[in-house]
Chains A and B, each alone.
Chain A
Amino acid sequence: MSVRSAIVLAAGEGKRLRPLTRHRPKPMLPAGTKPILEHVFDELVAAGIEELTVVVGYGRSAVQSHFGPSYRDVPIEYVVQEHQLGSGHALAVAASTVEERTLVVNGDQLVDRKIVGDVISTHETDPDAVATLGVIGHDDLAEYGGAIVDADGTVSEIVENPTDDRTYRLNAGVYALEAEAVEAMTGVEPTAGEFSLIDGLEALVDERTVRAAASEGIWIDATYPWDLLEVAETLFETGTVTGSVASSARVHGTATVVEPAVVGPDCVINAGAVVGPNVCLGQNVTVGSNATVRRSVVDADSRIGANATAIDCVTGRGVRIGPGSAVVGGPGDVRVDSTVHRDERLGALIADRTRDEGGVTYAPGTIVGAEATINAGATVRGSVDSETEVR
């Protein structure tokens, strides 16, 4: 019996991605020009999955309206997790739809079909395994989940954010599970009100055979919002995304698109503008005359004014960068709450529907919240809260 169905976990906000997650969950943030979740679906469909169950919660209408009732002819069932009590709880919410073995995949990290395929084929060759988890080699596991894998390929231990110097493989968040494993993993008591999938997995590793599928596939995670720039670069480098200009986009004869760059549907690039390299313009983005956009992810419906500069810039949806404004590029220190991230390669991060009136200068590493207004000629630095006005 092969694995035909997948449960995709897409209910969590991803708080570290604020302020971009104001109205949508992390899986709907752009990796290139498509939501992270759409990449995940692409890879699952390519790996032969015929049924998708998506657990939605925070900002769920963003997911439901984007994908509708099916994706590339694969039907999608939406299961609502009303309160986000962790990934284990999310799986429990979807568990009633599980009748046979299934894949479980994180919807907020990019995995390729190779990892998915390796997990499926490894699981199918070991009748003793109740669960198989995809693992990859990775340099820095401090932010992620690690697995100790024995010589025979079984998982002997699961450790979150490991700091000791044992040899860990990174847990890629792709699991093949027998129905009984789902049952065992969702029967665990929550710790501190949150109920992680990892708690269930740890319990399973102690009692049953859990296999690791070592893979050379691509795995990418955006931990912080400015990581979206690196994600886009990686997608270009690995050939996952190739440069393209949508047929419904309009590019003026004197404008230049420097490869690699993606220009989405309905975009307009005015005379003399230079877009690229490493630029992703979501749908219906407008770039004004003689503007420069380089190494940036510009989300849908945003407008970059005439003569503006946007370098190392991440925008949410419907952002207005006014005429002559300058996002001059990183590196800079990025301040999030009380933490300072030194020398990040970020020009500015500007969240949904913030509008600058023009002639605004953004110091490297600036973060502007959603629906803020920046008056003409202002200089912004550090972090600006949502819905504020900067004079």
Chain B
Amino acid sequence: MCGIVGYVGVDGGADALEVLLNGLSTLEYRGYDSAGVALANASLSVHKSEGELSELRSTLPEESLRGERTGIGHTRWSTHGPPSDANAHPHTDAEGRVAVVHNGIVENYQELRDELTDAGVSFDSETDTEVVPHLIASHLETGDDPERAFRRAIDRLEGSYAIAAVVAGGDEIFAARNESPLVVGVGDDGHYLASDVPAFIDHTDRVIYVDDGEFVRLSATGRRITDADGEVVEKPVETVDWDAEDTGKSGYDHYMLKEIHEQPTALRQCLRGRVDELAGEITLEDLDGLEHDGPIQFVACGTSYHAAVHAATICRERGMRANAYVASEYAADRIPVDGETLVVGVTQSGETADTLRALREAKRSGARTLAVTNTVGSSVTRVCDDTLYIRAGPEIGVAATKTFASQQIALTLLAGQLNGGLSYDAIEALRSVPDQVQTVLDTSDAKAVAEELVGSDAFLFIGRGLAYPVALEGALKFKEITYEHAEGFAAGELKHGPLALVTDETPVFAVVTGDGETARKTISNIKEVEARDAPVVVVTDGRSEAERYADYVLEIPATDDVGAAVVANVQLQLVSYWVANLMGRSIDKPRNLAKSVTVE
């Protein structure tokens, strides 16, 4: 998703261009299609281009830009208008006095654009953002000082935004936030600004989280944060624990493969101190004995939604009234919510706009809200009443892997906490999951299966019960990074339509664990596709006879349903990775996708 970075340094401080370019490169993983920078002194120097950051670098007259102390930069992920040089940020007014970068969506931009056009302003781009510099310029013309002009422009905007602006002749940055992340970095050599901490973590680990409705004015040595009424807000300076080195690939070819291999460690962190096999108890320190017997609604998007389906299934098995909803549909669906309802938002980044919107709506209806996230200090933690951290550590690959496994486990613990705890057997099984994931990493045949099946027409994934969200996630991962057609189905649904897709060129991945009725029924569904000559890959613990109907077997250790769901998914992650790798895809930065989706 779009990234913002800004720097205003003291004399003898860092080189602004260097700070901006390095910052943007650390935000690359979020996905983008164009990039740009604006450096400010008496006049503004604005440079931007479509494509990778290296494109921007190659067009920069770097020498003439050296030694500047103030600037803003941006990586853009298109929402209004295609990727192009003109649509890239920063955007400027006609005279080039004001440069603006923006994340989010200005919902009333057409109205503002019409108004400005009527006043004789001409637009260079198709973006919603461009109204902002023109608005600021129009207020400057009426004699406002830059801060006042900025505030008056922002006041006109509806929608979600993190915005930063610089004005020619000044050495300050003005910024504002509404429903889109923005962080100030407090350094010894000046102030930093970014949409995400990694952008400046090399320079400082002291940060101020800006909240919705707040305005920021930064100079090299001063900062002022004010609320909508212009009153100064005293904000705590927090120290973040984020090792810049954590973002290296540690000898792996891709972040995704590194993160797949980090899963045992991530799961240990998720479980640490939370399960006690001696006492047969679980303790979620963040939730302090929270129990709940009313309805539970899980809201989430993408991979997190699949974790939410997992969670709702477990809750229902335990007799709770629980459902999972796609966050963007949640509001449209008019789901009944009241004070008895617990709404759980699952979001890795904690910044997912759709999920945040759903949680805000639920809160307005009086529901209790709970965030399940990986990101300390993220927006969702401030929106919700309570937060449960999944503790997976930074995830850079756009396709979520370790955070899904950690969500599965954290949500299983949550389900236990909400009613009656977990059994000794369940706790023992949870403690075995990290080693079982390691077993799969040590022994998986996924690469060989990928080599056999790459080039097929389409890839289908089926599962039942807790294996159903695994099938959905297996298919999502597959399409995200291979760009091939892949679909996940409830195994029993296959015969109600999707079976028409099945040929000898459509491999079917079936997740079959345990030896109960669920497994037996899925085996019947496997026979349905086997009879139509589809290559069958079963992911199984070998406790049922599923292997008899399989062309390929991806083995997992025998364990309970929850453990099996985590471990089976790892096999499917590896299949996706190896197929994408064989196809030469951009695995860590798939086309059109962004790591955290901060627009609705």
Give the shortest distance, in Å, between B588 (CB) and chain A (any CB). 15
Q: Is B202 an interface position by the 8 A CB rule?
A: no
Q: Is B262 an interface position by the 8 A CB rule?
A: yes
Q: Hey, which chain A residues are within 8 Å of B434, CB to CB?
A: 284, 301
Give the shortest distance, in Å, between B371 (CB) and chain A (any CB). 24
Give the shortest distance, in Å, between A224 (CB) and chain B (any CB). 23
Contact call A268/B278, Cβ cutoff below 8 A: yes
Contact call A300/B272, Cβ cutoff below 8 A: no
A68-B250, A69-B246, A353-B439 are known contacts; what are 11 more A-B pairs with Cβ within 8 Å? A63-B251, A64-B251, A64-B252, A70-B243, A70-B245, A78-B251, A248-B273, A250-B276, A268-B277, A284-B268, A286-B431
Give the shortest distance, in Å, between A266 (CB) and chain B (any CB). 6
Give the shortest distance, in Å, between B465 (CB) and chain A (any CB). 26
Q: Is A23 an interface position by the 8 A CB rule?
A: yes
In this complex, what residue of B is CB-closest to A353?
B439
A56–B250 Cα distance when bound, in Å, is 11
Contact call B246/A68, Cβ cutoff below 8 A: yes
Q: Hey, which chain A residues are within 8 Å of B247, CB to CB?
A: 69
Contact call B245/A69, Cβ cutoff below 8 A: yes
Contact of B277 among A70, A75, A78, A250 (CB under 8 A): A250
A301–B277 Cα distance when bound, in Å, is 14
Interface of chain B: mostly helix, strand, loop or mixed: helix
Contact call A270/B278, Cβ cutoff below 8 A: yes
A70–B278 Cα distance when bound, in Å, is 35
Contact call A284/B439, Cβ cutoff below 8 A: no
In this complex, what residue of A is CB-closest to B253?
A80
Q: Is B435 an interface position by the 8 A CB rule?
A: yes
In this complex, what residue of A is CB-closest to B427?
A268
Q: Is B156 an interface position by the 8 A CB rule?
A: no
Q: Hey, which chain B residues are within 8 Å of A245, CB to CB?
A: none
Q: Hey, which chain A residues are within 8 Å of B265, CB to CB?
A: 65
Q: Hey, which chain A residues are within 8 Å of B435, CB to CB?
A: 284, 300-301, 317-318, 353
Contact call B442/A23, Cβ cutoff below 8 A: yes
A274-317 contacts to B, CB under 8 A, are 283-284, 286, 300-301, 317
Contact call A286/B277, Cβ cutoff below 8 A: yes
By Cβ-Cβ distance, the 8 closest A-B pairs, closest first, are A78-B251, A69-B248, A301-B435, A70-B245, A23-B442, A318-B435, A64-B251, A65-B261
User: Mask for B118-156, Cβ within 8 A of A = 1, else 0?
Assistant: 000000000000000000000000000000000000000
- Pull 15 A–B residue pairs with CB atoms less than 8 Å apart, ordered by A: A23-B442, A61-B441, A65-B262, A69-B245, A69-B247, A69-B250, A73-B245, A248-B272, A266-B272, A270-B278, A300-B435, A318-B436, A352-B442, A353-B439, A353-B557
Contact call B248/A68, Cβ cutoff below 8 A: yes
Contact of A266 among B249, B268, B428, B441 (CB under 8 A): B268
Give the shortest distance, in Å, between A49 (CB) and chain B (any CB). 16
Contact call A265/B251, Cβ cutoff below 8 A: no
Q: Hey, which chain B residues are within 8 Å of A300, CB to CB?
A: 435
List chain B positions with a Cβ less than 8 A from chain A.
Answer: 243, 245-252, 258, 261-262, 264-265, 268, 271-273, 276-278, 428, 431-432, 434-436, 438-439, 441-443, 557
Give the shortest distance, in Å, between A120 (CB) and chain B (any CB). 25
In this complex, what residue of B is CB-closest to A77?
B251
Q: Hey, which chain A residues are within 8 Å of B264, CB to CB?
A: 65
A265–B269 Cα distance when bound, in Å, is 11
Contact call A70/B431, Cβ cutoff below 8 A: no
A23–B438 Cα distance when bound, in Å, is 10
Q: Count chain A residues whose beta carbon lies closer than 8 angstroms to a beta carbon of B.
A: 33
Q: Hey, which chain B residues are within 8 Å of A265, CB to CB?
A: 268, 272
Contact call A317/B438, Cβ cutoff below 8 A: yes
Give the shortest distance, in Å, between B188 (CB) and chain A (any CB). 19
Q: Hey, which chain B residues are within 8 Å of A65, CB to CB?
A: 250, 258, 261-262, 264-265
Q: Is A60 an interface position by the 8 A CB rule?
A: yes
In this complex, what residue of A is CB-closest to B257?
A61
Contact call A80/B272, Cβ cutoff below 8 A: no
Contact call B262/A70, Cβ cutoff below 8 A: no
Decide: A64 near B250, CB < 8 A? Known: A286-B431, A300-B435. yes
Q: Hey, which chain A residues are within 8 Å of B276, CB to CB?
A: 250
Contact call A64/B246, Cβ cutoff below 8 A: no
Q: Hey, which chain A residues are within 8 Å of B443, CB to CB?
A: 23
Contact call A67/B431, Cβ cutoff below 8 A: no
A40-95 contacts to B, CB under 8 A, are 56, 60-61, 63-65, 67-70, 73, 75-76, 78, 80
In this complex, what residue of A is CB-closest to B557?
A353
Q: Hey, which chain B residues are within 8 Å of A23, CB to CB?
A: 442-443
A22–B249 Cα distance when bound, in Å, is 25
Q: Is A252 an interface position by the 8 A CB rule?
A: yes
Contact call A266/B251, Cβ cutoff below 8 A: no
Most A C-beta atoms less than 10 A away, residue of B251, B252, B271, B277: B251
A352–B438 Cα distance when bound, in Å, is 11
Q: Hey, which chain B residues are within 8 Å of A56, CB to CB?
A: 251
A283–B438 Cα distance when bound, in Å, is 14
Q: Hey, which chain A residues are within 8 Å of B251, CB to CB?
A: 56, 60, 63-64, 78, 80
Q: Hey, which chain A residues are within 8 Å of B432, CB to CB?
A: 301, 318
Contact of A284 among B245, B249, B273, B431 (CB under 8 A): B431
Q: Hey, which chain A residues are within 8 Å of B248, CB to CB?
A: 68-70, 75
A229-257 contacts to B, CB under 8 A, are 248, 250, 252
Decide: A67 near B277, CB < 8 A? Known: A284-B434, A317-B438. no
In this complex, what residue of A is CB-closest to B249?
A69
A307–B271 Cα distance when bound, in Å, is 27
Contact call B278/A318, Cβ cutoff below 8 A: no
Give the shortest distance, in Å, between B130 (CB) and chain A (any CB). 40
In this complex, what residue of B is CB-closest to A301?
B435
Q: Hey, which chain B residues are within 8 Å of A286, CB to CB?
A: 277, 428, 431
Give the shortest distance, in Å, between A341 (CB) and chain B (any CB). 28
A301–B436 Cα distance when bound, in Å, is 10
Q: Hey, which chain A residues are within 8 Å of B252, CB to CB?
A: 61, 64
Q: Hey, which chain B residues are within 8 Å of A67, CB to CB?
A: 250
A389–B401 Cα distance when bound, in Å, is 35
A252–B243 Cα distance when bound, in Å, is 36
In this complex, what residue of B is CB-closest to A319?
B435
Q: Hey, which chain B residues are within 8 Å of A61, CB to CB?
A: 252, 261, 441
User: Mask for A320-354, Cβ within 8 A of B = 1, else 0?
Assistant: 00000000000000000000000000000000110
A250–B277 Cα distance when bound, in Å, is 8
Decide: A266 near B271, CB < 8 A? Known: A64-B252, A317-B435, A318-B439. yes
Q: Hey, which chain B residues are within 8 Å of A75, CB to CB?
A: 245, 248
Q: Hey, which chain A residues are within 8 Å of B557, CB to CB?
A: 353
Give the shortest distance, in Å, between B556 (CB) and chain A (any CB). 13
In this complex, what residue of A is CB-closest to B248?
A69
Decide: A64 near B278, CB < 8 A? Known: A283-B268, A284-B431. no
A284–B428 Cα distance when bound, in Å, is 11
Most B C-beta atoms less than 10 A away, residue of A69, A78, A80, A270: A69
In this complex, what residue of B is CB-closest to A268?
B277
In this complex, what residue of A is CB-closest to B442?
A23
Give the shortest distance, in Å, between A69 (CB) and chain B (any CB). 3
Give the shortest distance, in Å, between B422 (CB) and chain A (any CB). 15
Give the shortest distance, in Å, between B221 (CB) and chain A (any CB). 29
In this complex, what residue of A is CB-closest to B247?
A69
Give the shortest distance, in Å, between A372 (CB) and chain B (any CB). 14
Q: Hey, which chain B residues are within 8 Å of A73, CB to CB?
A: 245
In this complex, what residue of B is CB-closest to A74?
B245
Q: Hey, which chain A residues are within 8 Å of B431, CB to CB?
A: 266, 268, 284, 286
A5–B192 Cα distance when bound, in Å, is 33
A78–B257 Cα distance when bound, in Å, is 15
In this complex, what residue of B is CB-closest to A61?
B261
Give the shortest distance, in Å, between B5 (CB) and chain A (any CB). 22
A22–B439 Cα distance when bound, in Å, is 11
Q: Hey, which chain B residues are within 8 Å of A60, CB to CB?
A: 251
